[in-house]
Amino acid sequence: MQKYEIAVLPGDGIGNEVMPEALRVLDVIGAKYGVRFDHRHFDWSCETYRKTGRMMPEDGLDRLRDHHSILLGAVGYPGVPDHISLWGLLIPIRRVFDQYVNLRPVRLLPGVTPPVRDKQPGDIDFWVVRENTEGEYSKLGGRQNEGTDRETVLQTASFTRFGTDRIMRYAFDLARKLGKPHVTSATKSNGIYYSMPFWDERFAEISQEYPEIRVDQDHIDILCARFVMTPERFDVVVASNLFGDILSDLGPGVTGTIGVAPSGNINPEGRYPSTFEPVHGSAPDIAGKGIANPIGQIWSVGMMLDHLGLTEAGADVVAAIEQVLGDPTAPRTPDLGGTATTEDLGKAIAEAI
C-alpha cells in the first residue's frame, strides 16, 4: 500500500476548525484509492509564541522536512504582531523548503454568486503563479534615526535571475500543461525603476523558449482593474511575490471565492515538502463558533493530492466541492448564506466523494 506522511499544522483560529474536515476528506480519499495517509500533528501557533517566545521549536523545520507534504491551516492571531507570527513560521517554511511557487486558482464556482455581473461558471478559470521566496518580501532593510522626526526606513526587494527565470518557466510550463496557451506577466516597470524592468527583460527572454504561447504584460495597477473588468481574458498570470499576493486575493475576490480558495506553496522538484493552505486567514471574528467554511482547506487537500501525483483523487475532491456547492439542498455555512456548521459541510463533501 502506497503511504504518504503528511505534516498537519492547523495553526490559529479557524485553522483548528477547518482542518479536521480536510482530514476527513483525506481519509475518505485514502480508503477509496487504497492509499495510506499518516498525519502527524504540530500545534505550532501564536499560542506557542505566547508560551515560548517562538512560533515553532528551534528544530521545527527539521521536524517537518521528512514529510511528503505539509497541510497548513492559518497563521496569525490578535496579540501577536503579524510580522512576528508570519516570519516565525509561514515564511521560513516557504523559504527553507524552497517552495518557490505559490499557486492559486481563480475560478467561478457553481452556487457562488460573484460580485461581478454577467459571468457564469466556466467564464473565469485561471491560475495565479506567484514567486514565493524572494522579491519584495525581505528582511533587507532597517531604520535610521528611530523615534525622531528624521526617522527613515529602508526596505529592499531583491530579484535574482535564478529566481525570476524559474518562476516564469513554471508559469509557461503550466500554461502548456493546461492547454491554455497564454501567459500574462504582472509588472510595474514604469514606476519601479530597477527590479521591474529586469522582470520584463527576463519575461521577454524566457517567453522565447515557448514560441507557441501568447504573452501579455500589464502594469499591476491596470492589471488589477482588468481582473475586475475582463477576468475572462486570463489563463496563467505570473507575478512577483507582492504582486502575486495581491492578485491571488483579488482574483478570488472577483469570483466571490475568497473564503473557499486554496493555495499551494510548491517545491516543484520535490526535494522538499510542499505546503497546502487555504487563502483565508485565521478569522478571529468567527473563531470558536464552528461555522467557518472548510472548503478552502479541503480544496487545499485536492491540490496536495494533485501535487503528490494522485491526479484523479485530486480531481475527485474538486468535483465533490463543485457538486455540493451546486446543490441547493446541500448544507451551507453562514458565509454562503446558510446555517450549517463546519462539520456539516465537511461531511457533505466527504460523502460526495
Ligand X SMILES: CC(C)[C@H](C(=O)O)[C@@H](O)C(=O)O
Distance CA 218, CA 191 (A): 13
Binding marks (x or -) toward a copy of itself, 82..101, rule CB under 8 A?
A: xx-xxx---x----------
Closest to 325 (Cα-Cα) out of 340, 306, 314: 340
> Considering the rule CB under 6 A, would residue 201 count as an interface residue with ligand X?
no
β-bridge partners, 4: 37
CA dihedral 18, 24, 30, 33 (to 10 degrees): -100
Within 63-82, which residues bind a copy of itself (CB under 8 A)? Answer: 76, 81-82
Inter-CA distances, 157 with 38, 141, 278, Å: 39, 9, 26
Burial of 98 (0-12, 13-18, 19+ CB in 10 A): middle
Closest to 349 (Cα-Cα) out of 329, 328, 335, 330: 330
Shortest CB 190 distance to ligand X, Å = 4
Shortest CB 352 distance to ligand X, Å = 28
Q: Which is nearer to a copy of itself, 184 or 195 (CB)?
A: 195
Q: Which is nearer to a copy of itself, 9 or 29 (CB)?
A: 9
Look up cell 530579484; give the residue. Answer: 159
> Contact with a copy of itself (CB under 8 A): which of 32, 40, 41, 143?
143
Q: Which is nearer to a copy of itself, 52 or 155 (CB)?
A: 155
> Considering the rule CB under 6 A, would residue 84 count as an interface residue with ligand X?
no
Q: Which of the listed partners (ligand X, a copy of itself, none) does 228 bind, with a CB threshold of 5 to 8 Å by partner kind? A: a copy of itself
> Considering the rule CB under 8 A, would residue 306 count as an interface residue with a copy of itself?
no
Asked if residue 242 lies in contact with residue 250, where contact means CB atoms within 8 angstroms, the answer is no
Q: Which is nearer to ligand X, 49 or 210 (CB)?
A: 49
Q: Which is nearer to ligand X, 12 or 316 (CB)?
A: 12
Q: Which residues are within 8 A (CB) of 170 and not within 5 positions of it... i.e. 6 or more apart?
A: 100, 101, 129, 238, 268
Asked if residue 77 lies in contact with residue 284, where contact means CB atoms within 8 angstroms, the answer is yes
Q: Which is nearer to a copy of itself, 249 or 327 (CB)?
A: 249
> Considering the rule CB under 8 A, would residue 256 count as an interface residue with a copy of itself?
yes
Distance CA 303, CA 262 (A): 8
Within 105-144, which residues bind ligand X (CB under 6 A)? Answer: none
220 grid coordinates:
499591476
Q: Which is nearer to ligand X, 190 or 311 (CB)?
A: 190
Q: Which of the listed partners (a copy of itself, ligand X, none) does 226 bind, with a CB threshold of 5 to 8 Å by partner kind? A: a copy of itself
> Considering the rule CB under 6 A, would residue 221 count as an interface residue with ligand X?
yes
> Contact with a copy of itself (CB under 8 A): which of 7, 55, 157, 317?
157
Q: In the complex, which residues of this chain contact ligand X (CB under 6 A)? A: 86, 190-191, 221, 245
